[in-house]
A and B are shown apart, each in its own frame.
Chain A
Amino acid sequence: MSSLDHGYWKSIAEIDREVASDEAVREAEFAAAEVELGDDAVDPLSRRNFAKLMGASLALAGVAGAGCKRYSREEIVPLARRPEDQVPGTTQEYATAFELGGHAQALVVTSYEGRPIKVDGNPEHPFAGGGVLAGTKRHGGSTAFAQGSILHLYDPDRSQGVSHAGKGGSFSDWKVWLGELRKQGNFGKVRVLSEATSSPTVQALRRRLATELPGLQWREWEPLSWDNERAGMVQAFSKVVRPLAHLDRAETIVSLDCDFFVDHPAAVAYSRDFARSRHPETSSLGRGRMNRLYAIESLYSSTGVLADHRLPVRSEHVLAVAQLLESLLLNSAAPRAEVANEAKVKTLVEALAREIKANTGRVVILAGRKQPAAVHALAARLNQTFGSSCVEYLEDPEPSRPSHGEAISTLAREIDQGQVDTLFILGGNPVYDAPADLDFAGKLAKVATSVHLSEYQNETSAKTTWHVPRAHYLEAWGDVRTWDGTLTLQQPLIAPMYGGISIIELCAMLLGDETPADVLVGKTLADSGAGGTWRAAIHDGFVDRTRFAPQAVQAGGGGAGLVGSQAGGSDAKNGELEVTFVHSSSTYDGRFANNAWLQETPDFLTKVTWDNVALISPDTADKVGGISSQDVIRIKVGDRQLDIPALVMPGQARGSIAVMLGGGRTRAGKVGNKQREWAGGGFDSYVLRTAAALDIVSGASVSKTGRRYRIATTQEHFDIRRGYSIDKTVGEKEAAKKIPDLVREVQREAFGDPAYKAEKTHPFYHDHHHGRGGSLFAEKTYPDRKWAMAIDLGNCMGCNACVVACQSENNVPVVGKREVTRNREMSWIRIDRYFKGDPNDPEVVGQPVTCQHCENAPCETVCPVGATLHSSEGLNDMVYNRCVGTRYCLNNCPYRVRRFNFFDYHKEFQDARNNVRKLLFNPDVTVRERGVMEKCTYCVQRIQGAKIKAKNAGERGAMPDGTITTACQAACPTEAIVFGDLSDPESRVSKLHGDRRQYELLGEQNDKPRTRFLAKVRNPNPELVSHTNQPAGHH
């Protein structure tokens, strides 16, 4: 029997054998490592500094709590001496920070007996912290990447030692080499290629390097950067500044191809601010007011989903559309582009222009990362005139820095000219992600000695002379800045498990400075004059009032001309298509490829897991030769070509193909490597990306290769239809009727009617004849607490932070691509995504669904062994130990939120190599055995933890609202998910359950769910209502 039938770990093991040529090299490395380490290599735990730090016994005790095999033998040995401030069995929280693309995300990380197990946003952080709802005391949202980043800490594929020339090496060898390099005294041919970092300490070290190692030059490369915006600021204001929008003050928000809810360094803060001004009854704009969002974009984004009006245009046409807007607002010349004359575009832009004029001062226009400088400049000019109170401009920490594209091109040129003999690559993975035309791998071969500091032995490490393991961010000291500049401290929670070092430490070594990193960071803080003590900064995780200084800017300069490809209309012939390079919601730019949690988290809009694909609009797919989803297409741009599976994506702009980056890795690790079709791994789309066109490239042609490739999506309707049906649309038609009932929406005007109640709008299951019936069984009463949840659909941007947070909190297993194709994904919270309307310009709604904790739970009555029961506080509890796995509960759950362990999804622990992953388990949550049912518990472990704490403190009953947050709730940047006690009439959840927008999902079943949804209020421009899809669901 083939092990590919199931379990992804098993399948990957098989694949490993297949990728033999590549693997042989690595195999040799491991062999070398094992010889070096001797017997210790059999048990990876015992050779880790972690274990030394904590005492091996404690580590094993922790493992025992989270043991996955029912009968595995474990020993629990008490500590002889308890470490200071540690009470066994309790958790501690530490503030730290995580940097992605050179921008910080402020975090609070939970540590259990010395091992970090959970990441959350820092609620106190002045930029990213803070809630949306009245009554929220502490809240700090986070992102899916931050949530998932902790998995890398325990990744057995992480680099575990220095290697030299592809073979084993040691730190001391490398240090000897470094000492020799320093002795040379001539650093004119030494270059550093760093990933982007906002760290002031790194900058201080760079300044020292420049003086102490004269000649050494520093280059910076980041595959996904906001450099276009910097260039745009120069065009608009003649200087580099950083725009910071205050969406909570804006009446009108316009996104020019900018997905500021997800693909922006300030996404968490922007999401929060948007939510604050979104709801008429609580709006930061004033009662009854509500912002309105316009999205002009090519790829359907989260921003497009929340937009009141979305205009799908090619990314290269955004400039023309924006110029049309500018011409109407500032009386500048109208663009001579066909697209600007199309009726749909004109109608929308004209109405938008009138609205902007009317809301002068309270307008924000945000241009996206992919857009050229001209669009950013245009947005900046308009913001200056119309959004003066909503957008401020902050000082840039490195105004003179060349763009990343320029920097890496310069480096490539220098290598060609023989000006580089030693290259330090700090982080990043340029061999994989540098512009394809630079042939970075080839360039690297010309450099005499190269060093790669990296968490993984990745594609770049394979080509460099030295590889040095890099510490995970939870293992290293650092200081980073959020988008607004707030200095945010990064403190380690664990000693480096594999002996890695950070960029700061490597720079210090290069300087011959023996000072430990924390002292360096402390010195930077002290030198900065930011004030505050080190202790306070470490405790809080940030230093308040350290954001970048606002800059006065003066708009100048005119508009840019349109180039050829921007002047056409929205119809595009094959050969004139545009390709946009977009980040992957799973791997970002490829760096999270080995992260199984993120790989299996479905992209909010495409619902694709485990692969990156090319998105093409239904209309274009038909025109260029009848492409359907799962066809492998060949995209040709000039002499570059890429074979990648297509996904026909409703709402994708005509003539635009969005290619997700970050797939097709060859040295990402066991999870992330490109594998055979049934295991996923994606396609290397960087081959199309050149230094001249990092974001958008025109003139692409597409052809079918005739091959098919199975894409694993978690939702399969609307565009992926199966055969055999007599009427293939029977399901779609039903869904179209049902969805307005499931996901209720209301127009702002209708909502203005005080008689409006979402639960009364019941368009589908009209039930005039019957009142709500009772239950066959005696209904329970809840004298004590009544736990409940409210989910505000108006605030959900589909960022997936909740999904990954739940996976992390609840030890939810990953099942692999093949299992996803069989509808066996295990996520306890999913975000259902529905389209409606014209497939080329649909509306999209999203709906997070977890266990609804029904009072009349249909699952409970059908379980023959009483394994799912109702608690006295209204929770629908699962007793894993009692479950025999009949799956009857699953069949009887109308929400289909129950998840069955079809296999032993923790089989990977049979491989001792993976034991380290056990340390990540939340010890308060049982790891489920095969054959049992599981589902959302409302984070019952947190509820019980809080109750025990309150009881121990002698304050029985005293658990004010907000004491307990579920993992999904804590992760949500917009507080779309609220959990609490219904028996407290003042709790936020009680108030939301009494809101006019509340309704029950499938209320006609009388299951009495404890989770209520809050209808989404849409705020379309009354001028445009007749011109866009009339939102359904409220008649």
Chain B
Amino acid sequence: MATSSNEAADGHGEGGEARKVFRGITDDVAKIALSPTPKWWYPAFAVSNLMLLCLVVALYHLFTTGIGVWGNNNIQGWAWDITNFVFWIGIGHAGTLISAVLYLFRQEWRTSINRSAEAMTIFAVAAAGIFPIIHTGRPWFAWWLIPHPNDMGMWPQFRSPLMWDVFAISTYATTSILFWYMGMVPDIATLRDRAKEKWKQIGYGLLALGWRGSARQWHRYERAYLILAALSTPLVLSVHSVVSFDFATSQNPGWHTTIFPPYFVAGAIFSGFAMVATLLVPLRYLCNLKHIIKESHIEAMCKIMIATGLMVGGAYSIELFVAWYSGNAGEWFTFRNRILGEYSWAYFMMVSCNVLVPQFFWFKKCRTNPWIVVGLCILINVGMWFERFVIIATSLARQGVPGMWGYFSPTRWDLLTMIGSFGLFFTLFLLFVRFLPVIAIAEVKAVTPEAHAGKDHH
């Protein structure tokens, strides 16, 4: 980074200063987890819990009554269930991108946000992961999708993209959790060492896996981190590509599109960054992390959103163009219907939020004003939710035979389930913020100017 070209010549004199800075970072991060719970946390946690309760109630009703509590019908077999699934999986993309891809590309600014982005990924995947299970008519048999030896002569049908989903998502979830947790071990050890209460010492002690911070441990840690980063990188591309196959390999006009994998990946990163920004902008105020999560970090994320937003907009237009240019009447109708028909409101919601809104980030003021950033990022996530809704619901509404054309109307249970998935996400995130190191302490230290005092390896 630019700051690394520090002019300090001699490390000895500055060493005391650097130690102070490093200690400051450790203090600031560890304080969040170790000091008494801040006041803002309680209402936030209460609201999230209330939302989570919605999920519990909605799922209880769903499991005891049937999929019919939602608005899905015999024309649109999927609606909000799979919309929410794809939405959350998309959110879950930013974490891996930040941790793995930016790591490999030596984008050191990532260190201040990677931990929380990874956490967000895992919680988003958790929120996403419930949908493929609960959207089945008989969720108590959802485990039949997992290949396992059994005496029922059952074996999954590997031509189905839903099977590929099972592998893609479980791989992604496993890798992300390992990556996140492994990265946290040194920091958890720091918390263990600083904790005053017995239960915290034991809890963090167990989680720290005996980390002592020896050079050998650091060496192995760095190697393992690199390997996991290399393993995760292809997942950034593969997971959402596979999710997009659910649609792309079907034969429905509006779904059957070769552009889907890159389009979905770009959209996922787009929405993932929007969610990271939505969470971190308030967090840096609430947890006094402004000096660690700097304005420049927020700006960098906004710039990525411009780029991915443009990719998504490009995908919309290419999709539309190809629908016309291909001469496939069904495809062309699906798009005209999407734009002009009963769902036009959803289509324009999607286009304005995903294509127009990120254009504000061209202006520095919009990238630096926290209120504007959060507002725009929320709009982007609304838009990205609608993108999935538009793809799923409008395409299915009017397929081959006009005698079976329909219109999906959500029920309150659809709404409660969606609110509940946000509740799950926020609850987990708030627990993370409260009890775990939200910043990768060691990594941040490594990129502070002080860490490079006297060594100019750039």
Interface positions of A (Cβ within 8 A of B): 1, 5-6, 715-717, 722-727, 730-731, 734-735, 737-739, 742, 764-765, 777, 819, 822-825, 830, 832-834, 847, 849, 858, 861-866, 882-888, 890-892, 894-896, 898-904, 929-933, 1001-1002, 1005
A730 touches B341 (CB 8 A): yes
A930 touches B73 (CB 8 A): no
A887 touches B72 (CB 8 A): yes
A722 touches B161 (CB 8 A): no
A600 CB, nearest partner CB in chain B, Å? 14
Choose from B73, B246, B333 the contact partner of A822 (Cβ within 8 Å).
Answer: B73
Interface positions of B (Cβ within 8 A of A): 61, 65-69, 71-78, 135-139, 141-142, 144-145, 154-157, 159-163, 166, 246, 249-252, 329-330, 333, 336-337, 339-345, 396, 398-407, 409, 411
A921 to B136 Cα, complex, angstroms: 27
Residues of B within 8 A of A722 (CB): 342, 407
Residue from A832, A886, A933 with most neighbouring chain B CB atoms (10 Å): A886
Choose from A717, A726, A890 the contact partner of B402 (Cβ within 8 Å).
Answer: A717
Choose from B76, B157, B342, B403 the contact partner of A864 (Cβ within 8 Å).
Answer: B157
A730 touches B66 (CB 8 A): no
Given contacts A6-B66, A847-B403, A863-B157, 14 further A-B contacts (CB under 8 A): A725-B340, A727-B340, A731-B337, A765-B329, A849-B403, A861-B157, A864-B156, A885-B137, A885-B138, A886-B137, A887-B137, A894-B399, A896-B401, A929-B138
A888 to B77 Cα, complex, angstroms: 7
A891 to B78 Cα, complex, angstroms: 7
B163 touches A824 (CB 8 A): no
Residues of A within 8 A of B74 (CB): 823-825, 890, 896, 898-900
Identity of the chain B residue whose Cβ is nearest the Cβ of A724 in the assembled complex: B345
A864 touches B66 (CB 8 A): no
B77 touches A891 (CB 8 A): yes
Residues of A within 8 A of B246 (CB): 888
A764 touches B329 (CB 8 A): yes
Residues of B within 8 A of A822 (CB): 71, 73, 409
Choose from A717, A723, A824, A884 the contact partner of B138 (Cβ within 8 Å).
Answer: A884
Residues of B within 8 A of A858 (CB): 250-251
Residue from B65, B68, B252, B329 with most neighbouring chain A CB atoms (10 Å): B68
Residues of B within 8 A of A903 (CB): 65-66, 68
A892 touches B250 (CB 8 A): yes
Known interface pairs A849-B403, A931-B138, A1002-B401; A6-B160 also in contact (CB < 8 Å): no
A715 touches B68 (CB 8 A): no
Known interface pairs A830-B403, A887-B137; A896-B329 also in contact (CB < 8 Å): no
Residues of A within 8 A of B250 (CB): 858, 862, 888, 891-892
A-B pairs, 4 with minimum CB distance: A885-B137, A931-B137, A832-B403, A902-B68
A823 touches B157 (CB 8 A): no
A-B contact pairs, 5 of them (CB 8 A): A734-B402, A735-B405, A824-B68, A884-B139, A884-B142
Known interface pairs A725-B342, A891-B250; A900-B67 also in contact (CB < 8 Å): yes
Choose from B76, B135, B337, B403 the contact partner of A834 (Cβ within 8 Å).
Answer: B403
A894 touches B402 (CB 8 A): no
B67 touches A931 (CB 8 A): yes
Residues of B within 8 A of A723 (CB): 342
Residues of B within 8 A of A738 (CB): 402
Identity of the chain A residue whose Cβ is nearest the Cβ of B406 in the assembled complex: A823
Residues of A within 8 A of B69 (CB): 5-6
A894 touches B400 (CB 8 A): yes
Residues of A within 8 A of B137 (CB): 883-887, 900-902, 930-933
Known interface pairs A894-B251, A1002-B401; A888-B160 also in contact (CB < 8 Å): yes
A905 CB, nearest partner CB in chain B, Å? 9
A69 CB, nearest partner CB in chain B, Å? 14
Known interface pairs A722-B342, A892-B252, A898-B74; A832-B401 also in contact (CB < 8 Å): yes
A930 to B155 Cα, complex, angstroms: 22
A738 to B157 Cα, complex, angstroms: 34
A887 touches B160 (CB 8 A): no
B319 CB, nearest partner CB in chain A, Å? 18
B157 touches A883 (CB 8 A): no
A884 touches B77 (CB 8 A): no
B325 CB, nearest partner CB in chain A, Å? 14
B400 touches A731 (CB 8 A): no
B82 CB, nearest partner CB in chain A, Å? 9
Known interface pairs A6-B69, A722-B342, A931-B67; A900-B403 also in contact (CB < 8 Å): no
Known interface pairs A819-B68, A884-B141, A887-B72; A861-B159 also in contact (CB < 8 Å): yes
B159 touches A777 (CB 8 A): yes
B400 touches A730 (CB 8 A): no
Choose from A5, A716, A725, A830 the contact partner of B341 (Cβ within 8 Å).
Answer: A725
A825 to B401 Cα, complex, angstroms: 16
A5 to B67 Cα, complex, angstroms: 12
A882 touches B154 (CB 8 A): yes
Known interface pairs A896-B401, A902-B68; A865-B406 also in contact (CB < 8 Å): no
Known interface pairs A5-B411, A832-B401, A896-B75; A885-B340 also in contact (CB < 8 Å): no
Residues of A within 8 A of B333 (CB): 734
Residues of B within 8 A of A1005 (CB): 251, 400
A834 touches B402 (CB 8 A): yes
B66 touches A931 (CB 8 A): yes
B160 touches A730 (CB 8 A): no
B401 touches A730 (CB 8 A): no
Residues of B within 8 A of A742 (CB): 401-402
Residues of A within 8 A of B411 (CB): 5
A930 touches B252 (CB 8 A): no
A832 to B400 Cα, complex, angstroms: 13
Residues of B within 8 A of A727 (CB): 340-341
A819 to B162 Cα, complex, angstroms: 28
Choose from B345, B402, B404 the contact partner of A731 (Cβ within 8 Å).
Answer: B402
Identity of the chain A residue whose Cβ is nearest the Cβ of B348 in the assembled complex: A726
A288 CB, nearest partner CB in chain B, Å? 33
A742 CB, nearest partner CB in chain B, Å? 6
Residues of B within 8 A of A861 (CB): 157, 159-160
Identity of the chain B residue whose Cβ is nearest the Cβ of A902 in the assembled complex: B68
Residues of B within 8 A of A899 (CB): 74
A892 to B69 Cα, complex, angstroms: 22
A930 touches B66 (CB 8 A): yes
Identity of the chain B residue whose Cβ is nearest the Cβ of A933 in the assembled complex: B137
Identity of the chain A residue whose Cβ is nearest the Cβ of B407 in the assembled complex: A722
Residues of B within 8 A of A866 (CB): 154-157
A205 to B406 Cα, complex, angstroms: 56
Identity of the chain A residue whose Cβ is nearest the Cβ of B141 in the assembled complex: A884
B13 CB, nearest partner CB in chain A, Å? 65
Residue from A726, A823, A903, A904 with most neighbouring chain B CB atoms (10 Å): A823
A902 touches B66 (CB 8 A): yes
B337 touches A730 (CB 8 A): yes
A165 to B246 Cα, complex, angstroms: 66
Choose from A724, A892, A895 the contact partner of B342 (Cβ within 8 Å).
Answer: A724
Residues of A within 8 A of B73 (CB): 822-824, 902
A857 to B5 Cα, complex, angstroms: 64
A730 touches B340 (CB 8 A): yes
A724 to B345 Cα, complex, angstroms: 7
A757 CB, nearest partner CB in chain B, Å? 21
Identity of the chain B residue whose Cβ is nearest the Cβ of A714 in the assembled complex: B403
A725 touches B344 (CB 8 A): yes
Residues of B within 8 A of A885 (CB): 67, 136-138
Residues of B within 8 A of A737 (CB): 329
Identity of the chain A residue whose Cβ is nearest the Cβ of B165 in the assembled complex: A864
Identity of the chain A residue whose Cβ is nearest the Cβ of B397 in the assembled complex: A731
A933 to B74 Cα, complex, angstroms: 10
Known interface pairs A864-B162, A887-B77; A726-B339 also in contact (CB < 8 Å): yes
Residue from B61, B77, B406 with most neighbouring chain A CB atoms (10 Å): B77
Residue from B69, B74, B400, B407 with most neighbouring chain A CB atoms (10 Å): B74
Choose from A830, A847, A890, A904 the contact partner of B66 (Cβ within 8 Å).
Answer: A904
A715 to B69 Cα, complex, angstroms: 22
A2 to B67 Cα, complex, angstroms: 16
